Structure 1
Amino acid sequence: MSVSSDLWAADADLVAAALAHPFVQGIADGTLPRERFAGYVAQDAFFLDAFARAYRLGAESSGDDGLRAVFTDLRAGVQEELRLHTGYAQQWGIDLADVQPLPATTAYTGFLLDAAGRGDAALTCAAMTPCMRLYAHLGQQLAGRAAGPYREWVDTYAAPEFEELAARLERLLDQLCADTSDQRLAAVRSAYSRAMQLEVGFFDAAWAGA
Protein backbone atom coordinates (compact mmCIF):
# COMPACT_ATOMS: atom_id res chain seq x y z
CA MET A 1 0.00 0.00 0.00
CA SER A 2 1.08 3.59 -0.55
CA VAL A 3 1.79 5.92 2.36
CA SER A 4 -1.41 7.87 1.75
CA SER A 5 -3.51 4.68 1.61
CA ASP A 6 -1.84 3.45 4.77
CA LEU A 7 -2.61 6.67 6.62
CA TRP A 8 -6.22 6.67 5.43
CA ALA A 9 -6.71 3.09 6.58
CA ALA A 10 -5.13 3.81 9.96
CA ASP A 11 -7.78 6.46 10.64
CA ALA A 12 -10.75 4.42 9.42
CA ASP A 13 -12.54 4.92 12.76
CA LEU A 14 -12.42 8.71 12.36
CA VAL A 15 -13.55 8.45 8.74
CA ALA A 16 -16.53 6.34 9.82
CA ALA A 17 -17.32 8.81 12.61
CA ALA A 18 -17.33 11.69 10.13
CA LEU A 19 -19.65 9.89 7.69
CA ALA A 20 -22.07 8.85 10.47
CA HIS A 21 -21.99 12.29 12.09
CA PRO A 22 -25.48 13.80 12.51
CA PHE A 23 -24.27 16.99 10.86
CA VAL A 24 -23.15 15.12 7.73
CA GLN A 25 -26.22 12.89 7.68
CA GLY A 26 -28.41 15.98 8.09
CA ILE A 27 -26.79 17.43 4.97
CA ALA A 28 -27.46 14.19 3.10
CA ASP A 29 -31.17 13.98 3.86
CA GLY A 30 -31.80 17.72 3.96
CA THR A 31 -32.96 17.75 7.60
CA LEU A 32 -30.02 19.73 8.98
CA PRO A 33 -31.37 22.95 10.50
CA ARG A 34 -30.59 25.88 8.27
CA GLU A 35 -28.97 27.90 11.05
CA ARG A 36 -26.47 25.11 11.73
CA PHE A 37 -25.51 24.90 8.09
CA ALA A 38 -25.25 28.70 7.88
CA GLY A 39 -22.90 28.67 10.88
CA TYR A 40 -20.84 25.93 9.25
CA VAL A 41 -20.58 27.87 5.99
CA ALA A 42 -19.20 30.89 7.83
CA GLN A 43 -16.69 28.82 9.81
CA ASP A 44 -15.64 26.80 6.77
CA ALA A 45 -15.06 29.95 4.72
CA PHE A 46 -12.70 31.15 7.47
CA PHE A 47 -11.02 27.75 7.47
CA LEU A 48 -10.64 27.65 3.68
CA ASP A 49 -8.93 31.03 3.68
CA ALA A 50 -6.30 29.54 6.02
CA PHE A 51 -6.17 26.38 3.89
CA ALA A 52 -5.33 28.49 0.84
CA ARG A 53 -2.66 30.34 2.83
CA ALA A 54 -1.14 27.02 3.87
CA TYR A 55 -0.85 26.03 0.21
CA ARG A 56 0.78 29.40 -0.49
CA LEU A 57 3.27 28.86 2.34
CA GLY A 58 4.03 25.41 0.95
CA ALA A 59 4.69 26.88 -2.48
CA GLU A 60 6.85 29.71 -1.15
CA SER A 61 9.01 27.44 0.98
CA SER A 62 9.61 24.93 -1.80
CA GLY A 63 12.84 25.05 -3.75
CA ASP A 64 11.42 22.70 -6.36
CA ASP A 65 9.58 24.23 -9.33
CA GLY A 66 7.40 21.16 -9.85
CA LEU A 67 6.37 21.04 -6.22
CA ARG A 68 5.67 24.77 -6.23
CA ALA A 69 3.42 24.35 -9.27
CA VAL A 70 1.40 21.57 -7.62
CA PHE A 71 0.81 23.62 -4.47
CA THR A 72 -0.20 26.60 -6.61
CA ASP A 73 -2.67 24.51 -8.62
CA LEU A 74 -4.17 23.00 -5.48
CA ARG A 75 -4.55 26.46 -3.99
CA ALA A 76 -6.57 27.45 -7.06
CA GLY A 77 -8.89 24.52 -6.33
CA VAL A 78 -9.71 26.04 -2.93
CA GLN A 79 -11.12 29.07 -4.71
CA GLU A 80 -13.82 26.83 -6.18
CA GLU A 81 -14.88 25.78 -2.68
CA LEU A 82 -14.91 29.38 -1.56
CA ARG A 83 -17.18 30.23 -4.48
CA LEU A 84 -19.63 27.58 -3.25
CA HIS A 85 -19.63 29.17 0.20
CA THR A 86 -20.02 32.64 -1.26
CA GLY A 87 -23.09 31.42 -3.17
CA TYR A 88 -24.70 30.10 0.01
CA ALA A 89 -23.79 33.30 1.83
CA GLN A 90 -25.46 35.44 -0.81
CA GLN A 91 -28.59 33.28 -0.84
CA TRP A 92 -28.97 33.16 2.92
CA GLY A 93 -27.60 36.52 4.01
CA ILE A 94 -24.48 35.17 5.75
CA ASP A 95 -21.82 37.81 6.40
CA LEU A 96 -18.50 36.13 5.59
CA ALA A 97 -16.58 39.34 6.20
CA ASP A 98 -17.27 39.30 9.93
CA VAL A 99 -16.78 35.67 10.94
CA GLN A 100 -15.82 35.03 14.55
CA PRO A 101 -13.99 31.70 14.45
CA LEU A 102 -14.99 29.05 16.96
CA PRO A 103 -12.32 27.26 19.03
CA ALA A 104 -12.57 24.19 16.77
CA THR A 105 -11.88 26.41 13.76
CA THR A 106 -8.89 28.19 15.25
CA ALA A 107 -7.47 24.88 16.49
CA TYR A 108 -7.57 23.52 12.94
CA THR A 109 -6.32 26.63 11.15
CA GLY A 110 -3.54 27.10 13.69
CA PHE A 111 -2.43 23.51 13.19
CA LEU A 112 -2.42 23.86 9.39
CA LEU A 113 -0.50 27.13 9.29
CA ASP A 114 2.03 25.87 11.82
CA ALA A 115 2.66 22.74 9.75
CA ALA A 116 2.95 24.70 6.50
CA GLY A 117 5.20 27.30 8.11
CA ARG A 118 7.85 24.72 8.98
CA GLY A 119 9.01 24.46 5.38
CA ASP A 120 8.63 20.67 5.28
CA ALA A 121 6.57 19.80 2.20
CA ALA A 122 5.78 16.26 3.39
CA LEU A 123 4.48 17.55 6.72
CA THR A 124 2.42 20.20 4.92
CA CYS A 125 0.85 17.56 2.68
CA ALA A 126 0.17 15.27 5.65
CA ALA A 127 -1.65 18.07 7.45
CA MET A 128 -3.75 19.00 4.41
CA THR A 129 -4.53 15.68 2.75
CA PRO A 130 -7.15 14.47 5.29
CA CYS A 131 -9.45 17.41 4.54
CA MET A 132 -9.31 16.79 0.80
CA ARG A 133 -9.65 13.01 0.94
CA LEU A 134 -12.36 13.06 3.63
CA TYR A 135 -14.55 15.54 1.76
CA ALA A 136 -14.15 13.60 -1.49
CA HIS A 137 -15.11 10.44 0.40
CA LEU A 138 -18.16 12.07 2.00
CA GLY A 139 -19.34 13.49 -1.31
CA GLN A 140 -18.99 10.15 -3.05
CA GLN A 141 -20.73 8.26 -0.25
CA LEU A 142 -23.65 10.70 -0.13
CA ALA A 143 -24.01 11.14 -3.89
CA GLY A 144 -27.28 9.87 -5.29
CA ARG A 145 -29.20 10.17 -2.04
CA ALA A 146 -28.69 13.84 -1.20
CA ALA A 147 -31.91 15.79 -0.98
CA GLY A 148 -33.08 19.27 -0.10
CA PRO A 149 -31.14 22.52 0.08
CA TYR A 150 -27.69 20.97 0.55
CA ARG A 151 -27.49 18.90 -2.61
CA GLU A 152 -25.05 21.36 -4.22
CA TRP A 153 -22.66 20.78 -1.29
CA VAL A 154 -22.72 17.02 -1.90
CA ASP A 155 -22.40 17.41 -5.66
CA THR A 156 -19.36 19.67 -5.27
CA TYR A 157 -17.42 17.13 -3.23
CA ALA A 158 -18.66 14.12 -5.22
CA ALA A 159 -17.43 15.65 -8.47
CA PRO A 160 -14.57 13.96 -10.37
CA GLU A 161 -12.72 17.29 -10.36
CA PHE A 162 -12.57 17.30 -6.56
CA GLU A 163 -11.52 13.64 -6.49
CA GLU A 164 -8.62 14.53 -8.78
CA LEU A 165 -7.49 17.32 -6.45
CA ALA A 166 -7.52 14.93 -3.49
CA ALA A 167 -5.71 12.23 -5.47
CA ARG A 168 -3.11 14.71 -6.67
CA LEU A 169 -2.30 15.73 -3.12
CA GLU A 170 -2.07 12.07 -2.10
CA ARG A 171 0.32 11.35 -4.97
CA LEU A 172 2.46 14.25 -3.85
CA LEU A 173 2.47 12.96 -0.28
CA ASP A 174 3.51 9.50 -1.49
CA GLN A 175 6.27 11.01 -3.59
CA LEU A 176 7.60 13.11 -0.72
CA CYS A 177 7.54 10.18 1.69
CA ALA A 178 9.38 7.79 -0.58
CA ASP A 179 12.55 6.52 1.12
CA THR A 180 12.01 8.83 4.07
CA SER A 181 13.34 8.08 7.55
CA ASP A 182 11.22 6.33 10.18
CA GLN A 183 11.38 9.43 12.36
CA ARG A 184 10.08 11.69 9.59
CA LEU A 185 7.40 9.18 8.66
CA ALA A 186 6.24 9.13 12.28
CA ALA A 187 5.84 12.91 12.16
CA VAL A 188 3.84 12.57 8.93
CA ARG A 189 1.56 9.98 10.55
CA SER A 190 1.04 12.18 13.58
CA ALA A 191 0.14 15.22 11.45
CA TYR A 192 -2.28 13.21 9.31
CA SER A 193 -4.07 11.71 12.29
CA ARG A 194 -4.27 15.05 14.08
CA ALA A 195 -5.84 16.64 11.00
CA MET A 196 -8.45 13.88 10.83
CA GLN A 197 -9.28 14.39 14.51
CA LEU A 198 -9.70 18.10 13.87
CA GLU A 199 -12.04 17.34 10.96
CA VAL A 200 -14.39 15.41 13.23
CA GLY A 201 -14.08 18.16 15.83
CA PHE A 202 -15.08 20.70 13.19
CA PHE A 203 -18.29 18.74 12.50
CA ASP A 204 -18.92 18.46 16.25
CA ALA A 205 -18.72 22.24 16.57
CA ALA A 206 -20.94 22.79 13.52
CA TRP A 207 -23.56 20.42 14.95
CA ALA A 208 -23.46 22.07 18.38
CA GLY A 209 -23.38 25.56 16.94
CA ALA A 210 -20.53 26.48 19.27
Structure 2
Amino acid sequence: MRLVALFCLAGRLLASDARFTDELWIQIEPIYSKTLQHPFLAGLTDGTLPHERFEFYLEQDALYLTAFSEALKMLASKAPREEWGAVLNKHATEAIDAERQLHDSILRGKRAREMAPTNYAYTNHLLATVARRPFAEGLAALLPCYWIYWEAGKDLKKRGSKNADYQRWIDQYSDASYGETVAQALRMMNSEAERLDARARGRVKRLFILSARYEYMFWDMAWREERWPPL
Protein backbone atom coordinates (compact mmCIF):
# COMPACT_ATOMS: atom_id res chain seq x y z
CA MET A 1 0.00 0.00 0.00
CA ARG A 2 1.39 3.38 -0.96
CA LEU A 3 2.11 5.66 1.96
CA VAL A 4 0.19 8.55 0.41
CA ALA A 5 -2.87 6.34 0.32
CA LEU A 6 -2.18 5.14 3.84
CA PHE A 7 -2.38 8.58 5.36
CA CYS A 8 -5.35 9.61 3.24
CA LEU A 9 -7.23 6.53 4.37
CA ALA A 10 -6.42 7.42 7.96
CA GLY A 11 -8.49 10.55 7.51
CA ARG A 12 -5.41 12.73 7.31
CA LEU A 13 -4.95 12.29 11.03
CA LEU A 14 -1.22 12.07 10.49
CA ALA A 15 -0.75 14.64 7.74
CA SER A 16 1.26 17.01 9.91
CA ASP A 17 3.42 14.22 11.33
CA ALA A 18 4.30 12.22 8.22
CA ARG A 19 8.02 11.91 8.73
CA PHE A 20 9.86 9.13 10.52
CA THR A 21 6.79 6.92 10.71
CA ASP A 22 6.74 6.85 6.89
CA GLU A 23 10.17 5.25 7.03
CA LEU A 24 8.96 2.75 9.60
CA TRP A 25 5.96 1.67 7.55
CA ILE A 26 8.07 1.18 4.44
CA GLN A 27 10.13 -1.32 6.43
CA ILE A 28 7.12 -3.50 7.22
CA GLU A 29 5.04 -3.16 4.05
CA PRO A 30 5.94 -6.74 2.95
CA ILE A 31 5.02 -8.06 6.41
CA TYR A 32 1.72 -6.19 6.39
CA SER A 33 0.87 -7.42 2.90
CA LYS A 34 1.51 -11.01 3.96
CA THR A 35 -0.51 -10.43 7.13
CA LEU A 36 -3.60 -9.37 5.15
CA GLN A 37 -3.27 -12.49 3.01
CA HIS A 38 -3.06 -14.82 6.00
CA PRO A 39 -6.00 -17.27 6.09
CA PHE A 40 -6.99 -16.07 9.56
CA LEU A 41 -7.57 -12.47 8.47
CA ALA A 42 -8.89 -13.46 5.05
CA GLY A 43 -11.27 -15.85 6.78
CA LEU A 44 -12.80 -13.07 8.86
CA THR A 45 -14.40 -11.66 5.73
CA ASP A 46 -14.84 -14.62 3.37
CA GLY A 47 -16.44 -16.91 5.93
CA THR A 48 -13.71 -19.55 6.01
CA LEU A 49 -12.43 -18.89 9.55
CA PRO A 50 -13.70 -21.55 11.96
CA HIS A 51 -15.25 -19.87 14.99
CA GLU A 52 -13.25 -22.01 17.41
CA ARG A 53 -10.06 -20.52 16.00
CA PHE A 54 -11.46 -17.03 16.48
CA GLU A 55 -12.27 -17.94 20.08
CA PHE A 56 -8.74 -19.26 20.55
CA TYR A 57 -7.45 -15.93 19.23
CA LEU A 58 -9.65 -13.96 21.64
CA GLU A 59 -8.55 -16.08 24.59
CA GLN A 60 -4.90 -15.52 23.76
CA ASP A 61 -5.51 -11.85 22.99
CA ALA A 62 -6.97 -11.33 26.46
CA LEU A 63 -3.71 -12.61 27.95
CA TYR A 64 -1.69 -10.54 25.49
CA LEU A 65 -3.57 -7.33 26.30
CA THR A 66 -2.92 -7.74 30.01
CA ALA A 67 0.81 -7.75 29.27
CA PHE A 68 0.47 -4.99 26.67
CA SER A 69 -1.31 -2.81 29.21
CA GLU A 70 1.47 -3.45 31.72
CA ALA A 71 4.05 -2.47 29.10
CA LEU A 72 2.16 0.74 28.35
CA LYS A 73 2.12 1.67 32.02
CA MET A 74 5.86 1.07 32.26
CA LEU A 75 6.43 3.16 29.16
CA ALA A 76 4.27 5.93 30.61
CA SER A 77 6.56 6.09 33.64
CA LYS A 78 9.52 6.72 31.30
CA ALA A 79 7.78 9.28 29.09
CA PRO A 80 9.86 12.46 28.57
CA ARG A 81 6.70 14.58 28.65
CA GLU A 82 4.07 14.48 31.36
CA GLU A 83 1.23 14.66 28.85
CA TRP A 84 2.59 11.63 27.01
CA GLY A 85 2.60 9.65 30.23
CA ALA A 86 -1.04 10.56 30.79
CA VAL A 87 -1.96 9.50 27.25
CA LEU A 88 -0.14 6.16 27.54
CA ASN A 89 -1.77 5.40 30.89
CA LYS A 90 -5.14 6.12 29.28
CA HIS A 91 -4.27 3.77 26.42
CA ALA A 92 -3.33 1.09 28.97
CA THR A 93 -6.78 1.30 30.54
CA GLU A 94 -8.57 1.40 27.20
CA ALA A 95 -6.65 -1.63 25.91
CA ILE A 96 -8.16 -3.72 28.67
CA ASP A 97 -11.65 -2.21 28.90
CA ALA A 98 -12.63 -2.04 25.23
CA GLU A 99 -11.35 -5.47 24.31
CA ARG A 100 -12.73 -7.08 27.46
CA GLN A 101 -16.25 -6.04 26.48
CA LEU A 102 -15.84 -7.80 23.14
CA HIS A 103 -14.20 -10.85 24.68
CA ASP A 104 -16.82 -11.26 27.39
CA SER A 105 -19.74 -11.00 24.99
CA ILE A 106 -18.31 -13.63 22.64
CA LEU A 107 -16.43 -15.96 24.97
CA ARG A 108 -18.96 -15.67 27.83
CA GLY A 109 -16.38 -16.14 30.54
CA LYS A 110 -14.22 -18.68 28.75
CA ARG A 111 -10.53 -18.02 29.42
CA ALA A 112 -7.23 -19.51 28.34
CA ARG A 113 -5.19 -20.91 31.20
CA GLU A 114 -1.79 -20.12 29.73
CA MET A 115 -0.16 -18.24 26.90
CA ALA A 116 0.66 -20.10 23.71
CA PRO A 117 4.41 -20.15 22.92
CA THR A 118 4.27 -17.31 20.38
CA ASN A 119 2.18 -15.16 22.70
CA TYR A 120 4.63 -15.78 25.53
CA ALA A 121 7.60 -14.84 23.35
CA TYR A 122 5.95 -11.71 21.97
CA THR A 123 4.79 -10.33 25.31
CA ASN A 124 8.16 -10.99 26.91
CA HIS A 125 9.83 -9.16 24.03
CA LEU A 126 7.57 -6.15 24.67
CA LEU A 127 8.00 -6.12 28.43
CA ALA A 128 11.77 -6.59 28.29
CA THR A 129 12.22 -3.89 25.66
CA VAL A 130 10.13 -1.33 27.52
CA ALA A 131 11.84 -2.13 30.83
CA ARG A 132 15.43 -2.08 29.57
CA ARG A 133 15.55 0.27 26.63
CA PRO A 134 15.01 4.04 26.20
CA PHE A 135 11.52 5.46 25.72
CA ALA A 136 11.73 5.70 21.91
CA GLU A 137 12.73 2.05 21.57
CA GLY A 138 9.99 0.89 23.91
CA LEU A 139 7.45 2.89 21.94
CA ALA A 140 8.76 1.41 18.69
CA ALA A 141 8.26 -2.11 20.04
CA LEU A 142 4.64 -1.37 20.98
CA LEU A 143 3.75 0.61 17.88
CA PRO A 144 3.05 -2.26 15.43
CA CYS A 145 0.24 -3.53 17.66
CA TYR A 146 -1.42 -0.12 17.45
CA TRP A 147 -0.80 0.54 13.78
CA ILE A 148 -1.23 -2.84 12.11
CA TYR A 149 -4.61 -3.37 13.77
CA TRP A 150 -5.78 0.05 12.56
CA GLU A 151 -4.71 -0.61 8.99
CA ALA A 152 -6.07 -4.16 9.01
CA GLY A 153 -9.35 -2.96 10.51
CA LYS A 154 -9.82 -0.44 7.70
CA ASP A 155 -8.89 -2.92 4.98
CA LEU A 156 -11.22 -5.60 6.36
CA LYS A 157 -14.01 -3.03 6.78
CA LYS A 158 -14.08 -2.57 3.01
CA ARG A 159 -14.90 -6.25 2.57
CA GLY A 160 -17.19 -6.70 5.55
CA SER A 161 -18.23 -9.98 7.14
CA LYS A 162 -21.51 -11.86 7.31
CA ASN A 163 -20.48 -13.22 10.69
CA ALA A 164 -21.71 -10.83 13.39
CA ASP A 165 -18.86 -11.60 15.79
CA TYR A 166 -16.22 -11.04 13.13
CA GLN A 167 -17.88 -7.81 12.00
CA ARG A 168 -17.91 -6.47 15.56
CA TRP A 169 -14.19 -7.11 15.80
CA ILE A 170 -13.60 -5.38 12.45
CA ASP A 171 -15.75 -2.42 13.49
CA GLN A 172 -13.78 -1.97 16.70
CA TYR A 173 -10.44 -1.62 14.93
CA SER A 174 -11.71 0.48 12.03
CA ASP A 175 -13.49 3.01 14.24
CA ALA A 176 -12.31 6.62 14.02
CA SER A 177 -11.80 6.79 17.79
CA TYR A 178 -9.29 3.97 17.56
CA GLY A 179 -7.65 5.78 14.64
CA GLU A 180 -7.09 8.79 16.90
CA THR A 181 -5.50 6.54 19.52
CA VAL A 182 -3.08 5.29 16.86
CA ALA A 183 -2.43 8.84 15.69
CA GLN A 184 -1.44 9.84 19.22
CA ALA A 185 1.15 7.08 19.38
CA LEU A 186 2.51 7.99 15.94
CA ARG A 187 2.83 11.63 16.89
CA MET A 188 4.92 10.62 19.89
CA MET A 189 7.15 8.51 17.67
CA ASN A 190 7.69 11.29 15.16
CA SER A 191 8.45 13.79 17.89
CA GLU A 192 10.94 11.47 19.58
CA ALA A 193 12.63 10.68 16.27
CA GLU A 194 13.57 14.33 15.83
CA ARG A 195 16.12 14.06 18.62
CA LEU A 196 17.54 10.63 17.71
CA ASP A 197 20.80 10.16 15.85
CA ALA A 198 21.17 7.67 12.99
CA ARG A 199 22.24 4.79 15.23
CA ALA A 200 19.32 5.30 17.60
CA ARG A 201 16.91 5.47 14.67
CA GLY A 202 18.35 2.21 13.41
CA ARG A 203 17.63 0.52 16.74
CA VAL A 204 14.08 1.89 16.67
CA LYS A 205 13.52 0.51 13.18
CA ARG A 206 14.83 -2.93 14.11
CA LEU A 207 12.53 -3.16 17.12
CA PHE A 208 9.57 -1.96 15.07
CA ILE A 209 10.23 -4.62 12.43
CA LEU A 210 10.66 -7.34 15.06
CA SER A 211 7.30 -6.54 16.66
CA ALA A 212 5.63 -6.45 13.23
CA ARG A 213 6.94 -9.97 12.65
CA TYR A 214 5.50 -11.05 15.96
CA GLU A 215 2.16 -9.56 14.92
CA TYR A 216 2.12 -11.83 11.87
CA MET A 217 3.16 -14.77 14.02
CA PHE A 218 0.30 -14.06 16.43
CA TRP A 219 -2.29 -14.49 13.67
CA ASP A 220 -0.55 -17.66 12.54
CA MET A 221 -0.50 -18.91 16.13
CA ALA A 222 -4.28 -18.44 16.32
CA TRP A 223 -4.85 -20.12 12.97
CA ARG A 224 -2.89 -23.19 14.11
CA GLU A 225 -4.31 -23.06 17.65
CA GLU A 226 -0.73 -23.33 18.80
CA ARG A 227 -0.02 -25.34 21.94
CA TRP A 228 3.02 -26.16 23.98
CA PRO A 229 4.45 -29.57 23.04
CA PRO A 230 3.52 -32.37 25.47
CA LEU A 231 6.35 -33.40 27.77
Structure 2 CA distance for aligned equivalents of residues 123 and 75 of structure 1? 18
Partner of 1:81: 99
RMSD over aligned CA atoms reads 1.4
Bigger CA drift: 73-82 or 131-140?
73-82
CA–CA distance in 1 between the matches of 2:61 and 2:113?
10
Question: Corresponding residue for 1:188?
Answer: 204
Aligned length, in residue pairs: 206
How big is the shift at 1:116? 1.1
Residue 116 of structure 1 corresponds to 130
**Partner residue of 2:177?**
161
Aligned with residue 18 of structure 1, among 17, 20, 35:
35
Deviation track 1:52-111 (CA, whole Å, cap 9, x = no partner) reads 000100112335312211211221321212322222221xx52x2x43111110111001
1:33 aligns with 2:47: no
User: Paired residue for 2:84?
Assistant: 67
Given the alignment, which residue of 134, 141, 146 partners 2:155? 141
**Corresponding position of 1:102:** 116
What TM-score do the two structures reach when normalised by structure 1? 0.93
* Percent of pairs with identical residues: 29
What code does the residue aligned with 2:118 have?
A
TM-aligned CA deviation for residue 13 of structure 1: 0.4
**In the TM superposition, what whole-angstrom CA distance separates every residue of 1:5-50 from its partner, at most 9, and x where no partner exists?**
2111111000001111100011122321111111100111100111
Q: Which shifted more, 149-158 or 113-122?
A: 113-122
2:104 corresponds to which letter in structure 1? T
- Structure 2 counterpart of 1:178: 194
For residues 122 and 205 of structure 1, the distance between their equivalents in structure 2, rounded to whole angstroms, comes to 28
Q: Provide the C-alpha distance between the structure 1 equivalents of 2:47 and 2:78, rounded to a whole number of angstroms.
A: 42
CA contact (8 A) 1:58 1:119 kept: no
Partner of 1:50: 67
- Structure 2: runs of 5+ lacking an equivalent: 1-17, 227-231
SS of 1:100 mapped into structure 2: coil
CA contact (8 A) 1:37 1:206 kept: yes
Q: Is the 8 A contact 1:59 1:67 kept in 2?
A: yes
Cα displacement (A) at 1:119: 5.3
Give the secondary structure class of the aligned counterpart of 1:41: helix
**Where does structure 1 differ by over 6 angstroms across 4 or more consecutive aligned residues?**
none
Q: In 2, are the aligned partners of 1:36 and 1:207 still within 8 Å (CA)?
A: yes
Paired AA for residue 113 in structure 1: L
Shift of 1:121: 1.4
- Equivalent residue for 2:5? none
